[in-house]
Amino acid sequence: MDSAFRILAAVSAGGVLGALARYGLGVAWPHPPHGFPWATWTINVSGSFLIGVLMTAVARWRPNQRYLRPFLGIGVLGGFTTFSTSIVDVQHAPPAIALLYLFATLIGALLAVWLGSTVTGLGSR
């Protein structure tokens, strides 16, 4: 099997798993029509944290695992996080909630990636 095809297969398989996990969480925790979309925010921030953990861990401890990052990082966590849905949520929320949600998502996701990477990096010292 061609290497590019194997990477595409890894991303696709991981994406299915991530999207199913996101869907399940969204069904279990729906947000009110005009309230703060906590499920989507939690998905994006926790997914960002896990991306920080994963990318740091793989770079330090499993750098030669060719399909690990495409499967887990791009596939599972890319399918799990849903930043496009957060933009739709912003467009449909009242202005005050939309601004709060937009900034909470941006700041929360950036801090989560940093924290995940930092915490994982400390484990290697």
Q: Which residues are annotated as a binding site for Na(+)?
A: 78, 81
- Cite the annotated binding site by residue number: 78, 81
Helix axes 38-61, 3-28, angle to 10 degrees: 150
Q: Burial code of 7-16, b = ≥16 C-beta within 10 A, e = fewer? A: beebbebbbe
